Structure formats: structure tokens, C-alpha cells
Structure 1
Amino acid sequence: MPQFAVDGAELTYDDEGPRDAEDVPLVFLHGWTANRHRWDHQLAHFSAGRRVIRLDLRGHGASSGSGAPGIDALARDVVALLDHLGVDRFVPVGHSMGGMIAQTLALAHPDRVERLVLVNSISRMTYSRGRGLLMAASTRVPFRLFVAANIRRAFAPGHPREEVRKYIRDSSATPREVVMTLYSAMRAFDVLDRVGEIRVPTLLVHGLHDIQLPVRQMLRMATRYPDAVIRIVDAGHELPVEKPAELTAALDRFLTDPAPEATA
């Protein structure tokens, strides 16, 4: 597994597929407490014909990381890795928190992002007063219980229990400081009033049964995007592992569609 040192972290990544492919590379960004293996299905499919890069974000999976990161810091790590690999233009594909990173990249580097894909992600979290109080209270329970509760509710009902337990174990291995800092960072993330600046073809794929980031919040975001395509899948919040083939098919259709004229 190659690694890249940046700002006190060692990022573990995969860089597969032909370097001379005509299409720009895909860059897969996982979500909170997850790792790059959320994208196994997509890596196997797309790396046959184009360059595919995925990484464990700082403090996640096999990547180390000092300090407590935020969304902007994770986006800077991604840019540093891509610069190291000699990648200029790319298509970020982000799940949940990874979608927040992808939007940050699209806003900060519009000349480098060719298309944008957001999977079970939003531009601003919105809660009722009761839900907000419940989420604040949840941070006071034992750490492993906090992580387990959040991962368990991310899957749609009926998902195999042993697989859910595996993801809970993986997520619980993420350092507490990283988990809690990014939990707060996601709650504070807000680019809803800026997404109209993202003038590239955008795919929004969302699980119908997502209770972490409900569909209605994604739809509110979609109305702000100048050029968005929406796909709703019969899944929960963990769409990349609940319905990997359906997600890959949606990506395939989107990536092979001719790009429309840029919005003036």
C-alpha cells in the first residue's frame, strides 16, 4: 500500500488503472469513521478503463494523523496527494462527509474539478430542536456506544447484522479525537448558499431510507445546483456497501453522458 506524508500524517492510498486513459481520474472520498474499502466495487469496475484514486483520510483506516482535522484540512490533504501524483483535473466522488470534502474541493478549485458526484451527502445539516438536543446528548454516552449507535442506524432495516457489526468494529478503531472533532465539523458544515457557484455536471445519489441525512435535505440542496442529476436508490445511508452495483451503474451512466453546455 503506497503512503504519502503530508502535514504530520501518513496517508494510505490506492492508485490504479491506466495512466494514459483519455478520461480524467476518479477520486473516491469515504465518509466519517469509514475507510477507502467502502469503494471496493467501484474501484474494481472503473480501474479497468480509467485511473482511479482512493485514500484513507487522515486518522481513518490505515492512515495516521496528528491533531484533530476539519473538513477544510481533509480537503487540503486530498489536494496535496493529487499534486504529489501529478493529477490536475479529476472527478471527486464523495460519500457523506466525503461529499462535504468534494464540495469543498469544487468550490476551492473549480478549474480542477471536471464533474462532481455526491453520495448520501448534503451541503448543510438541518435539525429540529428535538433532534439537535438528542444529537448533542448522544456525545455524552461512552465512545464505543456512540459510534455503534451512529453506524447501526446508517444501514437500512434488514441489512445483514454481521456486516453491520464489522463496520462498527472498523469505525470504533478510529481515534476518538478524530471522530468527535469531525462529528462537530459535519454539524457545522454549511456551503448551501454557495453551491450555485459549482457549475459542473453534478450527480446526487441518495438512499431513500437514509435517516442520517434525509432525502428531503438533499433535495433542498439539489434545487441550488445549476446542473444536477438525481438518483434515488432503495438503500440507507451506507449506499456504497448496501447497493454497490446500483451505485456503480448510476456512476457509469453519469460519467458516460456527454457534458452539457456550461451554465452562463
Structure 2
Amino acid sequence: MARFTVDGAELAYDDEGPRDSPSTPLVLIHGWTADRHRWDHQTAHFSAHRRVIRLDLRGHGESTGAGAPTIDALARDVVALLDHLGVGRFIPVGHSMGGMTAQTLALTHPERVERLVLVNSIGRMTYSRARGLLMAASTLAPFKLFVAANIRRAFGPGHPRDEVEKYIRASAATPREVVMTLYAAMRAFDVLDRAGEIRVPTLMVHGYHDVQLPVRQMLRLAKGYPDAEIRVLDAGHELPLERPADLTAVLDRFLARP
């Protein structure tokens, strides 16, 4: 693990794999209340033959800093890190909130993004009026209860209970300010009407049982992409944890595509 300081935050990151590989570096971006270890399986696989960079977003994992007020701010942190490492072109792979960050990178730095991978991510969070009111009310619950309810719903049916509880504890260790600020940032995120501007080959992988960001919202986003490949797996919202080997295989095939 290395560290890089940007805008008042110290970001923990891993930079693995051969620097002289002809393959474009992967940049792995985790989701809300998670950390860079969501990508352990993918990092171990891809770093054998290409450069792989993964980071703990500000306030998450081993990184410091307050919660970013917007998804754009998270994207700026990623760009600052890549500039520091001398990385030009790259392929962002983002899970959930990380996918929102990855889309922002593709829109703000199109000359640097070669391909794009979105895992359980969408372009706009959309709810019925009743669901929206429930989501708003949930923020008034005690913090640990709020986190536990969200993480418990993130896993698909049948995922081992002890694993779920482990990730609830890890998520609850994320500072409250970070959790709540980025929860609001995700709800405000909206690039749905700009999807057509992202013209690079894009892979969208989603869990069929995702109730946090349902498949239909991903499909709505995919309609706007000029070059989108869609894969739906038998999992919930936490694909990197629920089906790591299957996710890696799907990524492998996409990256090998001409």
C-alpha cells in the first residue's frame, strides 16, 4: 500500500502489475462504505499481465478525509492520483458509487478513458414517491441501523449471514459524515441524459437480484450508450463479493474484445 495526499485527504492505494505492459491500466473504484479490497479477486487476476491501480476513496478504508460533497469531487481525486502516477489512458472499473465516479471520468476526461466498466451502477437514482419518502426517512434512523439496513439489502438471496454481518461492521466503521455526505451525493448524481456522450466501449454488469439499484435502472442507462455490452448475473448488489470469479471472467472477455 502507498499513500498520496490530495486536497486535504490522504488516499491509500495499490499500484500493481507490470509497468511495461502493452495493456491499458485498469483503475478499480469501489462503492459507498466499501474499500479497495472489494477488488481483491480482479486485482490478483489482472495484475499478472497489466497494471492495476485501486484506491480507498477519501474517508473510506485506510484513506483519510471528509466525505466528498459530489461524485465529481471523487472523480477529481482519482484524476489527481493518476496524474501523480504518470498514468495517461486508463480503463475505469467502478462498482455502484464507483461506477458513478467512472462515468464522470468518462465525461470529464474522454481523451483518457479507453473503455468503461460499470458494475451494479446507474446514471440516475429513481424512486416512486413512496420509496423516495422511505429513503429520506431512513436517514433519520440511528446511524448503525441505517448502515445495517442498507448493507443487508445489498446482498442477494442466500449469501452467508456471517459474511453479510462482517461487511455491515466494516461499513459502519466508515465515519458518519462520510457515509451521509456521499449518500446525498449519490442521490443527487444524474448523468442519464448525457449517456450518449460516452462513446467508448462500455460493459455493464449487474446483479439480477439488486434491489439497491435495480436492473431496470441500468437498462434505462444502457439505452443511451452507443456501445454498451450488458451482462446480468445471479447475484444482488455486491457482485464483487458475491460472484468474484464470474465477474472477473466477464471482465476478461470484455477486455479481450477488439
| Interval of TM-score (by shorter of Structure 1 and Structure 2) | over 0.9
Residue in structure 2 matched with residue 111 of structure 1 by the alignment: 111
Aligned-partner residue type, residue 247 of structure 2 = L
Aligned-partner residue type, residue 251 of structure 2 = L
Distance 2:2 2:187 in 1: 32
Deviations 1:167-193 (A, max 9, x none): 011100111111001111111110001
TM-score where L is the length of structure 2 = 0.99
Distance 2:178 2:67 in 1: 8
Distance 2:256 2:102 in 1: 20
Matches within 5 A, 1:1-264: 1-66=1-66, 68-258=68-258
Q: CA deviation at 1:63?
A: 0.2
Q: CA deviation at 1:195?
A: 1.1
Deviations 1:143-200 (A, max 9, x none): 0000000000000011011111110111001111110011111111100010100010
Aligned-partner residue type, residue 14 of structure 1 = D
Cα RMSD after superposing both structures: 0.7
Aligned-partner residue type, residue 37 of structure 2 = H
Deviations 1:119-158 (A, max 9, x none): 0000011100110011011000100000000000000011
Q: Does the Cα contact within 8 Å between 2:2 and 2:14 map onto a contact in 1?
A: yes
Deviations 1:200-232 (A, max 9, x none): 000000000000000001001100000000000
Distance 1:62 1:128 in 2: 36
Q: CA deviation at 1:67?
A: 5.6
Distance 1:67 1:234 in 2: 32
Structure 1 67/46 Cα, relative in aligned 2: closer, same or farther at 3 Å? Answer: closer
Q: Paired residues, what number? A: 258
Q: Does the Cα contact within 8 Å between 2:58 and 2:68 map onto a contact in 1?
A: no
The percent of aligned pairs where both chains have the same amino acid is 81
Distance 1:58 1:39 in 2: 17
Distance 1:75 1:173 in 2: 23
Aligned-partner residue type, residue 193 of structure 1 = D
Q: Secondary structure at the match of 1:11?
A: strand
Distance 1:47 1:97 in 2: 23
Q: Does the Cα contact within 8 Å between 2:11 and 2:55 map onto a contact in 1?
A: yes
Aligned-partner residue type, residue 58 of structure 2 = R
Residue in structure 2 matched with residue 262 of structure 1 by the alignment: none
Distance 1:147 1:7 in 2: 27
Q: CA deviation at 1:68?
A: 4.4
Distance 1:221 1:172 in 2: 30
Q: Does the Cα contact within 8 Å between 1:205 and 1:230 map onto a contact in 2?
A: yes
Distance 1:57 1:133 in 2: 29
- Tell me, which stretches of 5 or more residues in structure 1 are unaligned? 259-264
Q: Does the Cα contact within 8 Å between 1:68 and 1:177 map onto a contact in 2?
A: no
TM-score where L is the length of structure 1 = 0.97
Distance 1:246 1:175 in 2: 32
Aligned-partner residue type, residue 212 of structure 1 = Q
Residue in structure 2 matched with residue 261 of structure 1 by the alignment: none
- Tell me, which stretches of 5 or more residues in structure 2 are unaligned? none
**Runs of 4+ with deviation above 3 angstroms:** 66-69
Aligned-partner residue type, residue 100 of structure 2 = M
Q: CA deviation at 1:69?
A: 3.5
